[in-house]
């Protein structure tokens, strides 16, 4: 019990302190662990036991990563995730592997299991930075998120590489080689079948019972059972948790599971970093301070240079590419996980694990200062975001309009003309400046964030209109807003039919495709100029609308964009419909 008091007390004090200093929670946990560990105050011992228990936090983290990876989302972001993300992980990992092999003189196996993890960045540090500054929806924010997502995905193959190179004695009966591949296929098939035929029906039953604690039990059961199955088959428990997350990514209960499991993940992951801090060999750190500083500087420089080049190759401008390079230049928390596994596999010595753990820690400490530098670069092109008004300063209004481009301007002006007050939010400083020249007051921020909408008065608003040109906006972004503000009606601009389908799982949201009405109006104008009968035009347009809605329903239910293609007016299937024969 006393150990628990010291662990939680250290976490509370140091995370608060490091958050206050802008250095992030992970560093707070690590420093807290060092202080209370056996090498300093000695308040808590047996770090190995704490680490083995806290590794459940890593399993839960991979489950939550899996929950974020619905097939539809992966498809939309496929280029940035799989092309940019894989290029970053491979190029940074192999470059650092070569440098460590050259500088440190390790075996190639040791250099590989150290270099590849150093190529990963800190999701726990970068995502909060992007969200707090409202930059997650920017172009470099989306590309940064895609890289982090691929890095999270790469944990599973990296763990597999460590296992494949392991020098640890193999226990009797442990599957090897081709048998592992067969076991992996069998395990994944079992988990997919269990998710479809067992877990989803169980969650539906739990939803009808409406007992919140049962969702917690169901979520933890899914994670533990899938992890235990993979461990039984001789595979990584983390792989099982990840597959469990993916198979539930499109479940209607995904958000409930995420909300219930996340607190356990946060606490156990915090304990994991406390245990890592306790296990760091401070004598190694004290004996090699210049080496650690030099390696940390090398790590940040190499990663920043490679990421900058990749960002430019993938279409980012000079300033956004520079910001993204600095943002992702640090080592990540998964490095500690992989170093621990490599140490267990007898690939690296504990001293090397402590040395490079200190390198990651120091590199993470540089991130807040690098972001200050990045902020100065950003202000060369646009006004500082600090000078832009937060929606919290907006008066109470009945309607919130998110996005003040050509679409949002028209919507906002018509609503204001009706006598209703409108709060307008936009994330583009250039657009805010331009609107200000015409006397329009626009507030700055990412209007899809629940906390920002709350500050803008969404709880009191009657309606929110999402009018921005954001093709990535989908039901996953809207459902939390619906749940937080259940009395507020949501209206959304959709770019095309695909986005309309992606938005439809958010029930009760009014969706308008941005060019549908203008296209219909233009067609009406053309038919009128051709002296077409007005009643016939009305009937044709009404039939088109009916068929379009029916086709949308078929596409939504089948998940196939080609469904209902026989119902369209033109092309090869035009014989199915002759406008001249439409009856009233």
What's the Rg (C-alpha) of the chain? 27
> Helix, strand or coil for residue 399?
strand
Task: Specify the pLDDT at position 301.
Answer: 95
Query: How far is Cα of residue 274 from the mean position of the Cα atoms in its chain?
Result: 25
Which pair of tokens denotes residue 550? Answer: 């029916």
412 contacts 432 by C-beta, under 8 angstroms: no
168-199 burial by CB neighbour count: b if 16+ within 10 A, else e? eeeeeeeeeeeebeebbeebbebbeebbeeeb
120 contacts 332 by C-beta, under 8 angstroms: yes
377 contacts 441 by C-beta, under 8 angstroms: no
Which pair of tokens denotes residue 480? Answer: 């939390």
Axis-axis angle for helices 254-279, 56-67 (nearest 10): 140
Residue 510, Ramachandran bin (φ over 0: left; ψ between -120 and 50: alpha; else beta): beta
Task: Specify the pLDDT at position 579.
Answer: 43
d(CA 569, CA 584): 17
pLDDT per residue as tens digits for the range 341-379: 898 888 998 888 888 988 988 888 787 778 777 766 655
> Helix, strand or coil for residue 530?
coil
- β-strand partners of 400: 423, 464
Check residue 480 and report its DSSP letter. Answer: H
Residues belonging to the chain: 584
- β-strand partners of 423: 400
Report the candidate in 375, 295, 287, 368 with the shortest Cα–Cα distance to residue 115: 295
Report the candidate in 125, 139, 99 with the shortest Cα–Cα distance to residue 301: 99
Report angle CA 207, 69, 487 to the nearest 5 degrees.
45
Question: SS3 sequence, 200-256?
Answer: HHHHHHHHHHCCHHHHHHHHHHHHHHHHHHHHHCCCCHHHHHHHHHHHCCCCCCHHH
d(CA 151, CA 470): 24
Which pair of tokens denotes residue 144? Answer: 């940064």
Report the candidate in 248, 190, 259 with the shortest Cα–Cα distance to residue 223: 248
Below-50 pLDDT ranges, the chain: 381-387, 570-584
Which pair of tokens denotes residue 96? Answer: 């650092």
Which pair of tokens denotes residue 114? Answer: 């150290």
d(CA 383, CA 304): 25
Tell me the HSE value of 288 on the side-chain side, using a 13 A CA sphere.
Answer: 19
d(CA 275, CA 228): 23
Alpha helices in 55-84 (DSSP H): 56-67, 71-76, 78
Q: What is the pTM of this model?
A: 0.57
Task: Specify the pLDDT at position 328.
Answer: 92
60 contacts 269 by C-beta, under 8 angstroms: yes
Task: Specify the pLDDT at position 463.
Answer: 92
The maximal CA–CA distance of the chain, rounded, in angstroms, is 91
């Amino acid at each position: 019990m006393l150990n628990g008091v010291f662990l939680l007390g250290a976490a509370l004090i140091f995370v608060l302190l490091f958050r206050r200093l802008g250095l992030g929670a992970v560093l707070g946990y690590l420093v807290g662990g060092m202080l209370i560990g056996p090498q300093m105050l000695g308040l808590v011992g047996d770090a190995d036991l704490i680490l083995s228990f806290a590794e459940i936090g890593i399993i839960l983290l991979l489950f939550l990563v899996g929950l974020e990876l619905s097939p539809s989302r992966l498809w939309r972001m496929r280029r940035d995730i799989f092309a940019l993300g894989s290029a970053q992980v491979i190029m940074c990992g192999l470059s650092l592997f070569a440098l460590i092999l050259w500088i440190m003189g390790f075996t190639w196996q040791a250099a590989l299991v150290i270099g590849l993890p150093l190529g990963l960045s800190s999701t726990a540090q970068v995502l909060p930075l992007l969200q707090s500054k409202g930059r997650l929806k920017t172009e470099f924010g989306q590309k940064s998120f895609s890289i982090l997502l691929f890095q999270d995905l790469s944990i599973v193959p990296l763990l597999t590489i460590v296992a494949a190179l392991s020098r640890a004695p193999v226990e009797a009966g442990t599957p090897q080689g081709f048998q592992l591949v067969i076991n992996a296929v069998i395990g994944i098939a079992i988990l997919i079948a269990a998710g479809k035929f067992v877990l989803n029906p169980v969650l539906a039953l739990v939803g009808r019972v409406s007992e919140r604690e049962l969702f917690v039990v169901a979520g933890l059961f899914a994670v533990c059972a899938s992890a235990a199955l993979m461990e039984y088959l001789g595979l990584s428990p983390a792989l099982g948790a990840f597959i469990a997350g993916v198979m539930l990514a499109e479940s209607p209960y995904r958000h409930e599971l995420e909300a219930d499991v996340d607190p356990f993940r946060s606490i156990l992951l915090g304990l994991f970093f406390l245990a890592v801090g306790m296990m760091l060999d401070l004598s190694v750190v004290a004996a090699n301070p210049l080496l650690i500083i030099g390696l940390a500087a090398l790590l940040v420089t190499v990663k920043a240079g490679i990421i900058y080049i990749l960002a430019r190759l993938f279409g980012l401008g000079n300033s956004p590419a520079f910001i993204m390079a600095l943002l992702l230049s640090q080592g990540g928390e998964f490095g500690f996980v992989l170093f621990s596994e490599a140490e267990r596999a007898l690939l690296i010595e504990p001293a090397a694990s402590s040395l490079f753990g200190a390198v990651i820690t120091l590199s993470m400490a540089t991130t807040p200062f690098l972001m200050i530098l990045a902020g100065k670069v950003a202000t060369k092109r646009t006004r500082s975001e600090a000078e832009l008004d937060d929606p919290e300063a907006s008066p109470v209004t009945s309607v919130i309009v998110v996005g003040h481009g050509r679409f949002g301007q028209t919507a906002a002006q018509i609503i204001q003309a009706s006598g209703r007050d409108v709060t307008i939010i936009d994330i583009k400083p250039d657009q805010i400046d331009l609107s200000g020249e015409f006397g329009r007051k626009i507030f700055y921020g990412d209007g899809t964030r629940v906390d920002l909408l709350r500050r803008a008065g969404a709880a009191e608003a009657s309606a929110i209109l999402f009018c921005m040109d954001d093709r990535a906006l989908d039901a996953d972004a809207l459902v939390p807003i619906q749940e937080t503000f259940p009395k507020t009606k949501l209206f959304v601009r959709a770019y095309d039919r695909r986005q309309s389908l992606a938005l439809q799982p958010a029930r009760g949201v009014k969706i308008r495709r941005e060019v549908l009405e203008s296209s219909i109006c233009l067609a009406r104008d053309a038919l009128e100029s051709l002296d077409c009968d007005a009643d016939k035009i009305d009937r044709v347009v009404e039939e088109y609308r009916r068929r379009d809605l029916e086709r949308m329903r078929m596409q939504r239910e089948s998940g196939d964009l080609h469904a209902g293609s026989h119902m369209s007016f033109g092309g090869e299937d035009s014989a199915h419909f002759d406008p001249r024969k439409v009856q009233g």
